[in-house]
Amino acid sequence: MAQQDSIRPMLLEARREVSIGIRASEEWQPSYKKHPATFKTLLLHEAQLEESVAEYLAGLADRAPNYIDWSLIPEPVQVTAASSPLANKDDAVWEGEALDLTKAVIEAITLLVATGGQYGELEYGIDLGITSLSESILVAAREQTAALVSQVTETNRKLIREAIKQSIARGEDVDGTIARIKKVINNPVRAEMIAQTESVNAYGRGLYDFATTTGAKTKTWEALAGACKICAPIDGQTVPIDKPFVLGNGKEVMHPGCHPRGRCGAYYNYD
């Protein structure tokens, strides 16, 4: 066990480096790569966020079976989906989970927001002395983290419910249901998707806050080459700094990103 504990940090570091290399080779809207130092930092913190989310979900997978009222499930499972037990509705339980997830991701989110602001300093030549300890960064990071935690926690509850319903439909026993719950929660692909999405959201928030602080008047959407039908319709669209972009699906956003794994960008105009 002690040997495994000593090897684990090295394995995580190696995995992080591989993740950074893969992400760097993927397609991004070119503005992200304009300043190599901030792009490298963005990739590093995205990898850290993915690692933190994956670790949290792995822990939740072990805890989740304790949130089920197993007395409602005969063995083998034969009840109908309509009478299936749901994830524990005790708010205290899920408030605790939300707190644990917040602790897991807030550092990476804070660093990503700061990186977006620092990109703004380099790109527009206005030095605000932004660090991860700046008050505006801490406020923005707290808000971004709260939104992420709320969404992920609600999705976790839905996934547990759906796993139970799947087990009921398949006539699985309690052990089979537990295995299904663990599999659906401890999902590395989901951790990757969350990290890729939220890293761009947090970075975009940092850049947007920089622009508003420094007096930008308008903002222009820059779609990724071959952008999807959500983003492509607004490529090159310019709106006032305090107004949202209206995407192809009608959703309103103040800055990129706008959908899972989105990598469109925006630039800000001071004239």
DSSP letters, the chain, are -HHHHHHHHHHHHHHHHHHHHHHHHS---GGGGSSHHHHHHHHHHHHHHHHHHHHHHHHHHHHGGGGB-GGG--SS--S-GGGPPPBP--HHHHHHHHHHHHHHHHHHHHHHHHHHHHHHHHHHT------TTSHHHHHHHHHHHHHHHHHHHHHHHHHHHHHHHHHHHHT--HHHHHHHHHHHHS-HHHHHHHHHHHHHHHHHHHHHHHHHHTT--EEEEEPPTT--TTTGGGTT-EEETTS-EE-TTS-EESSS--STT---EEEEE--
Predicted TM-score (pTM) of this structure: 0.89
pLDDT (average), residues 87-97? 75
pLDDT tens, position by position, 143-169? 999 999 999 999 999 999 899 889 888
pLDDT (average), residues 34-46? 97
pLDDT for the residue 81? 41
Residue 83, pLDDT above cutoff 80: no
Identify which has the larger pLDDT, 19 or 202: 202
pLDDT for the residue 136? 96
Residue 29, pLDDT above cutoff 70: yes
pLDDT (average), residues 5-14? 65
41: confidence class by pLDDT, cuts 50, 70, 90: very high
Residue 127, pLDDT above cutoff 50: yes
pLDDT tens, position by position, 163-189? 988 988 898 888 999 999 999 999 999
Residue 107, pLDDT above cutoff 70: yes
pLDDT (average), residues 138-146? 98
203: confidence class by pLDDT, cuts 50, 70, 90: very high
Residue 50, pLDDT above cutoff 90: yes
pLDDT for the residue 250? 94
pLDDT (average), residues 195-203? 97
pLDDT tens, position by position, 215-227? 999 999 999 888 8
Average pLDDT of the chain to the nearest whole number: 89
pLDDT (average), residues 85-96? 69
